[in-house]
Amino acid sequence: MNKDDLVVSLFSGAGGFSAGFSRAGLKPLFGAEINADACQTYQLNVGSPCHQLDLSTVDPAQLEKFTGGRRPFVVIGGPPCQGFSTAGPRNSADPRNQLIFNYLNIVERLAPRWFIFENVEGLLTSGGGRDLARLVREFVYMGYSVRLQKVNLASYGVPQTRKRVLMIGNRLGIDFQFPEELFSFDSGKAKKSSGKPMAPSLAEAIAGLGPAESTRGTLVQYASVDPVNAFDARMREGNVAGAVTHHVRVEPAGRMQVELLKPGQTMKDLPFELWHDSYKRRANRRVSDGTPTEKRGGAPSGIKRLHGNLQSLTITGAAAREFIHPSEHRPLTIRECARIQTFPDKYEWVGNNASVIQQIGNAVPPLAAERLAKHLQYIDGSFGADTQALDSGAPRLLGFVLTEALGMSPALKSTEALLADMHQGRLVFDGHTATT
């Protein structure tokens, strides 16, 4: 990394985004994160400072001081997504939703050449699409040419189907495309056959780990001296201990239920009398409380047994409770979840188990982040942007991809209409239209 390749990480969490950029030779100058455990985890592994800050209230000028007044090559970050997530109740008025605009305000102050913004797919329809449209519009007004796309990170080689909204922008006027998809994928729920090789399966991702121990704090030796596949080899890189932490089996709450589950099955596939009480309450509430469908979040599934020969479902903070190992009658271990998120085995974690799995579930997978970092380097360098500012076109919405499905929900159609107006050079203000 040269002096002009300054990277700033916002809403840094445990450092997944930053770890991927570091592997590409773009280690962030610093991270900024409110959670103390995640901030310490970041510093231990990324090797640059993490400032424990509330980015909803911080003065962007404070972050500018951390850069020494230099303009970054790129600002990266994914503001917390709970207000948008389909995994729980969705509330367009959730104050956490404002964090996406705090990210925008910091980018405006730091004025990087590029930014990468990551969030959950629920952002696409939040507030009838107005939240996303406003965010895009503000970035364009700030002078950025922006491209927006919903991406399944399995297509970049992550061993799980993980749908995320990515927005990439530059203030050089460069028209660009997202990284090429390299893999097909199939988790049993989300799938895409593109004629490309399959992303690593769940079984491939956790292969090479020794049998899970039953005692916390135990160092677990690898199953073999040599890696058993390419993914295992990547995960072992730099792990001089030859063993892993957090590979501890937890006895499931309902062993009978777990033993009856076949790969791909969830709680609803079991007899009603075997449903967990918490699952019964959630399942009943979805049909009895009158909450609009679009605000309920995803259907409750409770425990679910994964397919070993497919990619995993999306790793979340609940994965170590609800995701059942493909062949063993236990939930995934924290280490297995970390591998599915592509965190290397040498990664050290700060906090109790609940904190660690939340850090893992919230992270951008380092492997996907590395793919984005290398692509950004290629685009920037191929246009000569390392040596001169370009003016290849006025700031604009370059394009967007909201779904690859043939159909589109009414909510997503509303978002599409708002973005289409911007893409065609018409910016929308509260129902009034101006031509750019």
Given the residues 39, 50, 81, 337, the one annotated as active site: 81
Q: Which residue is associated with the tokens 């007899």?
A: 271
Q: How far apart are CA 82 and CA 88, in angstroms?
A: 8
DSSP H or E segment with residue 7: strand 7-10
> Tell me, what DSSP letter sits at residue 171?
S
Residue 365 gets the label, from left (phi > 0), alpha (psi -120 to 50) or beta, of beta
The CA distances from residue 171 to 139, 165, 274, 392, in Å, are 10, 20, 57, 10
Quote the strand ranges of 298-431, DSSP E.
304-305, 323-324, 397-401, 426-429
Count of H helices and E strands in the chain?
15, 16
Residue 133 CA to residue 118 CA, distance in Å, equals 15
The CA distance from 309 to 311, in Å, is: 7
Instruction: Report the DSSP beta bridge partners of residue 146.
Output: 169, 397
At 75, phi and psi to the nearest 5?
A: -110, 130
**Interhelix angle 130-141/410-423, nearest 10 degrees:** 20
The Cα–Cα gap between 290 and 354 comes to: 32
Q: Is-catalytic flag, 337?
A: no
Residue identified by tokens 């090479």 is 208
Q: Give the catalytic positions in this structure.
A: 81
